[in-house]
């Protein structure tokens, strides 16, 4: 009985304990949140990129600028622009022209008592009509027509011979001769011939001398006088000789001192359009004008109208010795007909202010270059000109990065479409570790923009320090700069709406404050490592 009571007490106590102590409120009306959020903070290496000097400047993204190394292994910006070429047809044309004259019979024979034959002849000399000061010795015609018209006021029959010694048949080597008869019933005569069968020789002055531009026409005719014919001394035979639309293969002689407007061309330099404030000094820029000339005469080039215009619209003209005298373009000699001769005129700091032009940060340059043929200071040589002859001009701008940069700012706009990637980022510390072996340091500002509206700005801050250089201008050691960019939640929310980033880099070279310029050698590198520490909020439902 006692044990039974004990058992009942124990069981009752346990039941009472469980009833009293049972508290399951924790489970009341509670379920799992459907959206689980994980909030880790991860420090991860993002990656790295190494820039050589060449690659850095290629980022400025002017496709026309080539980045090369010169013989000194200094990185060099190379820009080649071809100016408009000059063709022979643009330089010299021979216009249509005519030569006319008349030859009187010179005899009065009224009611001729006898039948007789009278001979009359005369030689004429004309000058070619040309546009300039050309003095042509000969022309190899390639097109056009040669026409002859004769008419007479002489009643008796006339047989004529018109000889033009200035037109020589290319095949026979004989001068052009036109013969025919004029009668009362048919007092006119016309003939037409192709000029391309002839060459013009214009050196005969008609009196045995040698000259140029001279066209000789000889007219000779016979008058067949019959009994009873009337012949007046003033009766005449007229001729009209014409070159119609003449074309040529080549001319010889002297083209005189004509002026050629070689080119008036504006070249855009996008490379410099990235630069804004600050100064840039190039120690040894060089412009090489390369002329390829197959015209058979030398030319003198005038560089007085070369100007550089910067983004503010300020123009600076090329000046210096190179602009004070014409620069000679050589020409092929007669023995080199069909060939071209290359001439190079170099504009450098010895003969011009080209360094100032480049330091002007030009966004465009205008080359209004003219030339004069057979310049007085040039070689004296026999001239010729072929229809296919040309004068090609190109400019090679060579800018070795032997430079001084002083707070020079450059801007680049990059597309930004990673805003959605930031949705799970609550805050971010972006670490940039720059190991710089280039004697150029700088700061960077980044403006995140939606369209043109800034939504967040990472203020200007040092990003990389300039490496020191020794007495030989070589970098002695790399300089490491660690930059942490802290972006809080507000900043990240703003950046999510950005569509582009305006990157503004302001750079200075080592020693620029003391007027030092540094050479950027091709083996210089800048290594950038990117790491980040991100406080994430990763939701199970992806939001």
Partner 1 sequence: MKRLILLSIFVLTLVTNVNAQGNFSFYQLREIVPQASNLQPAFIPQNSFSLGLPGLGGVGVTFQGDFELGDLLYKPNGFGDYTVDFDVLLAATNPTNFMNLDVTANLLHLGIRNKLGAFSLFANARVKMDFHYDDDLMEFLANGNSNRIGGAISFDETMIRLNSFHEIGIGYAKTFLNERLTVGARVKMVTGLFHASTAEGATGSIATDADDFTWTVNIQNGTVNTAGLDLLLNESDYPDNALQDYLISNDNSSMAFDIGAKFDILKTLTVEASVMDIGSITWKETMVNYNTADTTAIISGVQLRGLENSDEVLEDSVTAKFRSNETNMSFKTTLAKRTYAAISYRPSKDDRFSFTAYNNHVFGRFEPTYAVSYNRKAGQFTFGVIGSFRGRNNNTNIGFNMAANLGPFQLYLATDNMMVLNKPELRSKADIRFGINLMFGYKKWRNPERVVNLDEL
Structure tokens at 303: 């560089």
**Least gap, CB of 31 to partner 1 (angstroms):** 5
Rounded to the nearest 5°, which phi and psi values hold at 306? -105, 120
**Least gap, CB of 5 to partner 1 (angstroms):** 9
Closest to partner 1 by CB, 87 vs 431, is 431
CA 65 to chain centre: 12
| Sign of the CA dihedral running 340, 346, 351, 357 | positive
**Least gap, CB of 526 to partner 1 (angstroms):** 13
CA dist 483 and 467 (Å) reads: 17
**Least gap, CB of 276 to partner 1 (angstroms):** 26
Closest to partner 1 by CB, 13 vs 377, is 13
Closest to partner 1 by CB, 24 vs 185, is 24
The string of DSSP codes covering 342-410 is EEEEEE-TTTS-HHHHHHT-EEEEEEEEEEEES-TTS----EEEETT-EEEEEEEEEEESEEEEESEEE
**Least gap, CB of 54 to partner 1 (angstroms):** 13
Closest to partner 1 by CB, 279 vs 533, is 533
Contact criterion met (CB below 8 Å) for 176 and 241: no
**Least gap, CB of 431 to partner 1 (angstroms):** 7
Closest to partner 1 by CB, 14 vs 486, is 14
Contact criterion met (CB below 8 Å) for 398 and 70: yes
Closest to partner 1 by CB, 15 vs 115, is 15
Closest to partner 1 by CB, 368 vs 535, is 535
Pairing of strands 362-373, 299-302: antiparallel
Angle, CA of 376, 379 and 385, to the nearest 5°: 95
Query: Count of CB atoms within 10 A of residue 375's CB?
Result: 20
Query: Count of CB atoms within 10 A of residue 200's CB?
Result: 25
Report the first-to-last Cα separation within the chain, whole angstroms.
69
- Nearby residues of 62 by Cβ (< 8 Å), 6 or more positions away: 269, 270, 271
**Least gap, CB of 358 to partner 1 (angstroms):** 29
Closest to partner 1 by CB, 50 vs 516, is 50
Closest to partner 1 by CB, 64 vs 539, is 539
Find the farthest-apart pair of alpha carbons in the chain and give their distance in angstroms, rounded. Answer: 198
Comparing CA positions, the residue from 279, 304, 200 lying closest to residue 243 is 200
**Least gap, CB of 47 to partner 1 (angstroms):** 3
Comparing CA positions, the residue from 448, 446, 428, 431 lying closest to residue 494 is 448
Closest to partner 1 by CB, 36 vs 382, is 36
Beta bridge partner(s), residue 64: none
Query: Count of CB atoms within 10 A of residue 42's CB?
Result: 9
**Least gap, CB of 26 to partner 1 (angstroms):** 4
**Least gap, CB of 456 to partner 1 (angstroms):** 22
**Least gap, CB of 467 to partner 1 (angstroms):** 19
- Nearby residues of 231 by Cβ (< 8 Å), 6 or more positions away: 105, 107, 108, 109, 110, 112, 118, 154, 155, 156, 223, 225
Closest to partner 1 by CB, 49 vs 115, is 49
Q: What is the DSSP letter of 54?
A: H
Give residues in contact with partner 1 (CB under 8 A): 1, 3-4, 6-7, 10, 14, 17-18, 21-27, 30-33, 36-49, 431, 433, 482, 528-533, 535-536
- Nearby residues of 373 by Cβ (< 8 Å), 6 or more positions away: 255, 256, 257, 258, 259, 260, 297, 298, 299, 383
**Least gap, CB of 499 to partner 1 (angstroms):** 19
Closest to partner 1 by CB, 107 vs 530, is 530
**Least gap, CB of 19 to partner 1 (angstroms):** 10
Query: Count of CB atoms within 10 A of residue 234's CB?
Result: 11
Closest to partner 1 by CB, 29 vs 452, is 29
Q: Cα dist. 180→3, 104, 220 in Å? A: 169, 17, 11
Residue indicated by tokens 């009341």: 28
């Amino acid at each position: 009985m006692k044990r039974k009571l004990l058992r009942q007490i124990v069981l009752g106590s346990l039941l009472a304990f469980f009833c009293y102590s049972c508290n399951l409120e924790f489970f009341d009306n509670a379920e799992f949140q459907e959206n689980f959020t994980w909030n880790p903070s991860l420090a991860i290496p993002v990656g790295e990129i190494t820039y050589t000097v060449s690659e850095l400047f290629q980022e400025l993204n002017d496709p026309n600028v080539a980045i090369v190394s010169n013989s000194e292994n200094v990185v060099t910006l190379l820009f080649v622009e071809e100016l408009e070429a000059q063709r022979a047809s643009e330089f010299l044309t021979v216009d249509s022209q005519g030569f006319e004259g008349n030859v009187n019979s010179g005899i009065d024979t009224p009611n001729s008592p006898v039948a007789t034959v009278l001979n009359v002849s005369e030689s004429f000399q004309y000058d070619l009509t040309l546009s300039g000061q050309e003095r042509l010795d000969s022309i190899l015609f390639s097109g056009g027509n040669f026409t002859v018209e004769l008419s007479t006021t002489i009643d008796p029959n006339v047989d004529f011979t018109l000889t033009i010694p200035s037109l020589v048949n290319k095949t026979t080597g004989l001068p052009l001769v036109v013969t025919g008869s004029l009668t009362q019933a048919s007092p006119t005569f016309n003939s037409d011939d192709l000029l391309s069968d002839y060459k013009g020789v214009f050196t005969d002055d008609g009196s045995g001398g040698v000259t140029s531009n001279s066209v000789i026409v000889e007219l000779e005719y016979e008058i067949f006088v019959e009994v009873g014919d009337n012949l007046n001394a003033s009766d005449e035979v007229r001729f009209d000789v014409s070159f119609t639309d003449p074309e040529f293969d080549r001319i010889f002689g002297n083209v005189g001192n004509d002026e050629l407007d070689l080119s008036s061309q504006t070249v855009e330099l996008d490379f410099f359009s990235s630069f804004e404030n600050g100064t840039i000094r190039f120690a040894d820029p060089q412009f090489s004008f390369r002329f390829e000339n197959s015209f058979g005469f030398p030319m003198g080039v005038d560089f007085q109208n070369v100007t550089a215009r910067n983004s503010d619209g300020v123009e600076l003209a090329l000046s210096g010795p190179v602009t004070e005298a014409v620069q000679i373009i050589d020409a092929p000699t007669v023995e080199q007909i069909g060939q071209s001769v290359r001439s190079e005129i170099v504009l450098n700091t010895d003969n011009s202010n080209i360094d100032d032009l480049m330091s002007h940060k030009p966004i465009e340059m205008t080359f209004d270059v003219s030339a004069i043929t057979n310049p007085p200071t040039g070689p004296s040589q026999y001239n010729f000109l072929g229809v296919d002859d040309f004068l090609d001009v190109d400019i090679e701008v060579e800018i070795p990065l032997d430079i001084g940069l002083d707070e020079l700012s450059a801007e680049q706009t990059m597309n930004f479409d990673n805003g959605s990637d930031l949705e799970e980022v609550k805050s971010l510390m972006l670490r940039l570790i720059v190991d710089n072996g280039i004697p150029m340091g700088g700061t960077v500002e980044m403006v995140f923009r939606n369209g043109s509206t800034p939504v967040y700005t990472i203020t200007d801050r040092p990003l990389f320090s300039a490496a020191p250089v020794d007495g030989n201008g070589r970098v002695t050691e790399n300089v490491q700069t660690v930059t942490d960019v802290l972006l809080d939640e507000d900043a990240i929310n703003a950046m999510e709406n950005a569509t582009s980033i305006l990157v503004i880099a302001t750079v200075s070279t080592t020693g620029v404050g003391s007027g030092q310029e540094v050479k950027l050698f091709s083996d210089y590198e800048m290594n950038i490592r990117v790491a980040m520490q991100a406080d994430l909020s990763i939701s199970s439902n992806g939001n």
